[in-house]
Structure 1
Amino acid sequence: MARNAFEEALREEFSEANFVVEDDDVLEQCASMCVVYALKASDLVSSWEVFYLNRQLNDGKVSTAILPKFKAFLQEEQREALRSKSIDGLHSFSKIDDVDMLLNDEPELQETPPALRSASKCHSSPLGIRNVKLEAEFAVLACPKTPKTPAGPFGKSSSEGPRRKTEDSPLTPFARRLSKCTVQSIFNAELDEPSEEKVVPDTEDDVLRRLRPVERCHTEILSPFPKVGCRFMHDRLEDRFLSIEKRIKKFADALAVSERCKVTCNGAVATQEQIMVVGRICCDGEGHLNDKSVLLEGSVEFCGGQRVRLDLRNIPQLSLFPGQVVGVEGKNPSGHCLVASRIIDAIPCLASPEASEHQEPASKRRVLSQGEDVEMVSGIQQPITMLMAAGPYTANDNLFYEPLSDLLAHARRKRPRVLLLVGPFVDCDHPMIRDGLVDRTYEQIFQDEVKTRIEEYCQEVGDGAGVLIVPSTRDSHHDSVFPQPPYKRRGFDDPDKQITLLGNPSIFRCEDVTLGCTSMDILRHLSSEEMSRVPAGATSDRMTRLASHVIAQRSFYPLFPPPQGTCLDLSLTPEAVSVNQIPDILILPSDLAPFVKVLALPSYPQLASGAEELEAGESLPRNEQLTKCLCINPGRLTKGSSGGTFTELLVLPDTSSYEGCTAPPPVSSRSKVTIKRI
């Protein structure tokens, strides 16, 4: 069809639809759109009618001023059409190469450089209009792609090796980032590092330090977690009820011993006397907690789960969230409202896990080196050096995994004894994975991009360096349930047993330091649900307050009900979520800003074997003994298309036994934490 004939056809179609064309320039632009988007004149006018009605236009004129918005409307329409295009009964997502092939009617033989591709479009364009840059027109149709790998026998990309960023690939926003490896903050900066660590990078001393073998850090898992391959999301309403009921009863028993008073679980009984009631916080409605919507739900065993409204006017400082188990001291004169005078939200925990009578000190423990049992020669403990990071491990505009490569390169230079990697590794929220723009399975991506890099790091650093891996519920290739089983051991090439696969959450011990870690973003969840009150003129650290709830409630996830999309299974190894002792270091990766805080929590070691240890008339000192816990949020290794943060941890050995001190210093006072940008 000739150019003028095409324009006349458009004029007739617009006229039949009762639209007036402003001038010939409008017809020329509409004809260009028809060619670019492969539309007939009637199809374009039909799209204009839909656009006209959606925009609620009323002048009936096709003008030059409105054409740019109509063009954007056509692009959106084309994208939806290509995404829903069905091939052999299966839905597939088209990429920019597929669009080029459809418009050019040319088979896709190989990756064409952008310059040659644009030139070929100019020569093959009919009516002289195909000089329009199609990549710009269809840039919204697909996210940036990873480099292609050689095709397999069935047309699929080969998974023989990781798809790394090649030298011919353009620089990504992550590669062009500024402030690489800069220090954001240092906790306990006054602590001196070991003398062997004080070397200038890229010098002869640094090379010699790297050649020295790394002394393995003895790691012991203390908490249970679900087994690999377990069945999940089969919990019943009864399982959820029993889990909450158990928390209330445990809190009541601990509170009765620590407060030396009678504790009841029924606050709906009218009384003029001061009572101590234990229950969980609920919200009277679908919104967030406020002063008028706080309810206290008692135990089902003692009061049938009755709820009573809480009057908090006499409480100057508080921090409440749904699912929190608290003790409330107050009066209920009417039976309908409990007027609180004091709220107790912390359960006394054990200060540290009980050590075995026959357990050897860390300096005498045996380690596995090169397949043989070798006893440590030194009688003095070595400092613990740990590098920790939390996913995502790749930028959201590609799957090059450049942040992970840079992190492992930094670990090769620093040579920490422990490398802690917390998921997600194959993030389900990544745009390319969420939109289905990948040509590999999720397991292949994890194998090619993550496993291979970790195995290469272990082989290069030596069998003394250990790697701890914690999964995430955001991992596309793993079971999305909390608590979460560890990754499958098969597939890891780990002859020296350097890689330890942990569950989510986990409590483990490195030498004599106890650590707790979970990849669930409980801090962000609590932040959106918490109701707090601070007296006038007083200050309160919000991050410290949120992190303290994890240990005060003896649970890695005390929030209930959880936010939408959280796969919480309370019947699947409920002991895995419990925090039965205060760890020395608590690691809580979060989308919130990275931080290092010291939590001071009450602990009563004499409660370890029950209340029978108390003599007649003896009372427990209230909050007299405080145990300090170091809480670390390393942040995310990747923030969008740029770099995030990671954390270096140095724990100096406990020298109190050598210096004759009676009370050992807390781990928080002999730990140096550095938060750096990747």
Structure 2
Amino acid sequence: MASVTAEDIKSELDTFNIAFNNDTVDKMLEQCLCRRLKGDEIVFEWFAFSSSKDQLPLTLDNLDQFEHEVSTSVQNMITGSQKRALTTPEHPQSKRGVARLPSPSLLLSPASFSPSATPSQKYGMRGGRGEVVSSFGTVQGPRWTGKGQSSVRVEMLEGGENSLISSYKYMFQRLRDVRDVLTEKIEELGEELRSHFNIEEFSAVSLPVQNSITVLGQVCCDSNGKLNAQSVLLEAGQEQGGRQVPVDLSELKEFSLFPGQVVVMEGMNPSGETFVATKLYEVSLPVMVVMACGPYTPSESLTYDPLIDLITIINKDRPDVCILLGPFVDSKHEQIEKNQVTETFETIFKRCVDSIVEGTKGSGCRLVFVPSQRDVHHHYIYPQPPFNLSSLSKDDSARVTLASDPCTLLISNVTFGLTSTDILFHMGAEEIMDLKRITSSDGTGTERFTRIMKHMLTQRSYYPLYPPAEEVNMDYDKFQQFSQMNLTPDILIVPSELRYFIKDVIGCVCVNPGRLTKGQVGGTYGRLLIQPNPVPVEGKRVSPCIAGQVVKI
């Protein structure tokens, strides 16, 4: 055994934050030599002894008491072991019978176990055999049979040192090594969280400050019992001081914590003794976005039945954001074209908007209103300014966003490009192609949409067509300022009379949700699940769109 030095003992005492002096270290070194112990072993024994005595301080008198109790316990063990005579029988017999299995097929049969093992009657009488109790993905089409292919490879993802492929010696870890592993975990996860939430730096959790600070640490309990809201401690990493500080969670609206969890919190520690958390940084859950485009009434009636159905869906599914694009009062509606309306267009529009705002209040979703040049009551110009809804209350205005056509929005750090003008239809009518150089698949409708969307993205314009369609009243003075794509959006919403679609075009998720009504029948709307705050992987852009659907109303 390697000799123990005073420096070894001092280092281990520092690990446990145990105060010491040279006399106590010399005394512990003497005990190590007498009992043939290592430095970490003697310190671990002292730590256990001290904890059982209400954190007894390290003094010479207490070390004498510690030595006396250790020697007494060792003597009792020796005395107890002598009371039992150890003899070897003349004819030792194995307590386990040797069973010869005639074939591998009988390895799990009842006969392969002890004679008392009988088949379970309850298992044999079980019901629902072969019943599917949980499923994921498409479950109707696949055939649940394999082919026994010997060419299928199974291998460890991590090779070499990163894969556990053989046994190893255990029970030899040092407390210092445990501390280093936990510290490394805090620092690695902390760096990822810092980058994800754009945090400049972390402060020491035990630092007495009057201002709000952001801290990093690992959740632990102040005792050996179960963690609860009053027993939470935050243990900082070595770079932040390594201290444990109680955490007051009363200011948090909601939280989910477990011992060992690495967290980033924001709050204050006025006294340096208790950290009052006001915010818990967590990776955001997916955001659901619903989008629909008018008209919102059937062509033969001005009743907003399709819109009422959409409001019912919003209240049931509770999306985070609902984007509603015009027309809300359609200039192409039969009754409006024939002057069969007895109310002003503004009155109809106000009643429509009030129904949407009031009807979705219980869902808590954010509403985005985008006008259309087909809105008979609004400015007939492109780019088109947003609606003016001055009659909304303060609370309603807080969850309503009035956008222009076109516009670019930022929703949870995800970029949305929006336009209610049917650019797909207009460009599709004007596009020319050299059919000799286009494959049959490129000539299909879906590939046609891809080409048009690619034109929009590469031309960096919400309306690159010139001259514009006759129904588009273009103001080129404002067009240059408000209708350009200064960046490629993550998601581009382009409702059209043409067939609905969702597709990825050169890194942008393009969506045509269709129209909520098609003549006298119901149409479609779209919904997306997006991951907020998308983080680039190796400097490459990552699509925030997790899933998307176009659904019939």
**TM superposition score category, shorter chain reference:** 0.3 to 0.5
Structure 1 or 2, whichever has the larger Rg, is: 2
Per chain length, whose mean CA-contact separation is higher, i.e. which structure has more relative contact order (CA < 8 Å, sep 6+)? Answer: 1
TM-score (normalizing by structure 1): 0.39
TM-score (normalizing by structure 2): 0.48
